[in-house]
Structure 1
Amino acid sequence: MSVILRTERLVLRKARPDDLKALHAMMSDAETMRYWSTPPHADLATTRDWLEGMIAAPPETSDDFIVEKDGETIGKLGAWRLPEIGYLIGRPHWGRGYAREALAAFVSYAFAHRTDHLTADVDPRNTASLALLARAGFRETGRAERTWCVGGEWCDSVYFRLDA
């Protein structure tokens, strides 16, 4: 049985092939993807490959969710590789607290059913993500330079951890 998480405004559910167009709209947007681990998706095939990987990821090592608002796919959030979390909310939905709400639901679920801690790797220029994790109780555990090369640009990392 597939896990579904519900919050006041959101549904977090497992990915489906019909999420492709909504995910591509997000993942092809340069501003939305600014701090992601890959460049914006240049074509639908790139997003399809990414989505198929998310769907096929083994549940022993991955627990990722699509974030839905009123039946519309607005993002993804979860542990793409336990215990490391990642999230992406489409730009039209920024600033409304959806990432905070989805993260709180996922943290509660993960600690009840999956792991005793979560980690995150954030680009230090991503002030919104740094603030989100701090508000959720994550603590900084370290920093490193030139950890990701995305689209020919080196990015740094701030590492976070949250214990159950």
Structure 2
Amino acid sequence: MIRNDKIILRALEPADADLLYQWENQMELWSVSNTLTPFSRHQIITYINQISLDIYQTKQLRLMIDVPKEHHQESIGMIDLFDFDPYHSRGGIGVMIYKPERGKGHAREAVALFSEYAFSHLGLHQLFCDISEDNQASIKLFESLDFQMIGRKKEWLKTPSGFKDELMYQKIAP
């Protein structure tokens, strides 16, 4: 487990399948996760079993975000390292906080803790993320953690209201 006094980042467990099934099938999140179709429970369980393989095999790492409670901990989201490239020492980062828990600083804590882990333990040189131009909460989050906007992909994302630009952010290891 990776933790501080406010947040716990932990590996996925088979017991997380129902929660992931619920979260991954929320259509309002599909636009940020590039999902087009629902996931079955079987797909989620297969994913949990596969994600437990070595990061160098899967090129990704997903961790649950838990908050400590009085006598237990509660899962409130997940954070991902994707497109892990050990040769170039980089990877993408994505975070999802369950809607009732948003706006409480959990995403900021999780991204800061995960970034420190990625730089110090995984030896990454850089992290990157891609954010829709209208996702002000994510832009504010990543900019507050010293991610720099390095580019704009014009009309990159197809949405029901038309095409939107996607902003590219990057943070180089301190």
TM bracket (short chain): 0.7 to 0.9
Q: Mark the structure with the bigger radius of gyration.
A: 2
Paired residues, number: 159
> 2:62 aligned with 1:64, yes or no?
yes
- What is the Cα deviation at residue 86 of structure 1? 1.1
- The 4+ residue runs of structure 1 with deviation greater than 6 A are none
Q: Given residue 120 of structure 1, which amino acid in structure 2 is its aligned partner?
A: C
Of 123, 142, 147, the residue aligned with 2:151 is 142
Q: Residue by residue, what CA displacement relative to the aligned partner does 1:118-152 show, whole Å, maximum 9, x if unpaired?
A: 0111111211111110001000111113435579x
- What is the Cα deviation at residue 99 of structure 1? 0.4
SS of match in other structure, 2:103:
coil
> 2:114 aligned with 1:106, yes or no?
yes
Q: Given residue 145 of structure 2, which amino acid in structure 1 is its aligned partner?
A: A
Q: Give % identity.
A: 24
| Inter-partner Cα distance in structure 2 for 1:150 and 1:20 | 29
TM-score of the aligned structures, taking structure 2 as reference length:
0.78
Contact preservation (8 Å) 1:141, 1:159: yes
| Inter-partner Cα distance in structure 1 for 2:163 and 2:22 | 25
Of 26, 30, 47, the residue aligned with 1:29 is 26
Q: Given residue 135 of structure 1, which amino acid in structure 2 is its aligned partner?
A: S
- Which structure 1 residue ranges, 5 or more long, are not aligned? none
- Structure 1 match to 2:130: 121
| Inter-partner Cα distance in structure 1 for 2:37 and 2:5 | 31
> 2:141 aligned with 1:132, yes or no?
yes
TM-score of the aligned structures, taking structure 1 as reference length:
0.83
- Structure 2 match to 1:20: 17
